[in-house]
Amino acid sequence: DTEVTQTPKHLVMGMTNKKSLKCEQHMGHRAMYWYKQKAKKPPELMFVYSYEKLSINESVPSRFSPECPNSSLLNLHLHALQPEDSALYLCASSQGSLPNTDTQYFGPGTRLTVL
Partner 1 sequence: SQQGEEDPQALSIQEGENATMNCSYKTSINNLQWYRQNSGRGLVHLILIRSNEREKHSGRLRVTLDTSKKSSSLLITASRAADTASYFCATDKNSGAGSYQLTFGKGTKLSVIP
Residues that bind partner 1 (CB under 8 A): 4, 6, 30-31, 33, 41-45, 48-51, 53, 55-56, 88, 90, 92, 94-98, 100-109, 111
Smaller CB separation from partner 1, 16 or 98: 98
CA distance 109 to 54: 20
Find the shortest distance in angstroms from Cβ 75 to partner 1. Answer: 18
Other CB atoms closer than 10 Å to residue 1's CB: what's the count? 8
Q: How far is the CB of 46 from partner 1 (least distance, A)?
A: 10
Q: DSSP readout, 57-70?
A: E-S--TTEEEEEEE
In the complex with partner 1, which residue's Cβ is closer, 94 or 114?
Answer: 94
Q: Is the C-alpha dihedral spanning 109, 6, 14, 77 positive or negative? A: negative
Measured from the CB atom, is 27 or 88 closer to partner 1? 88
Q: Using alpha carbons, select from 47, 83, 51 the residue that is nearest to residue 65.
A: 47
If the CB atoms of residues 66 and 107 are measured against partner 1, the closer one turns out to be 107
For residue 78, how many other CB atoms are within 10 A of its CB?
20
Smallest separation (angstroms) from partner 1 to the CB of 68: 12
CB of 62 to partner 1, least distance (A): 20
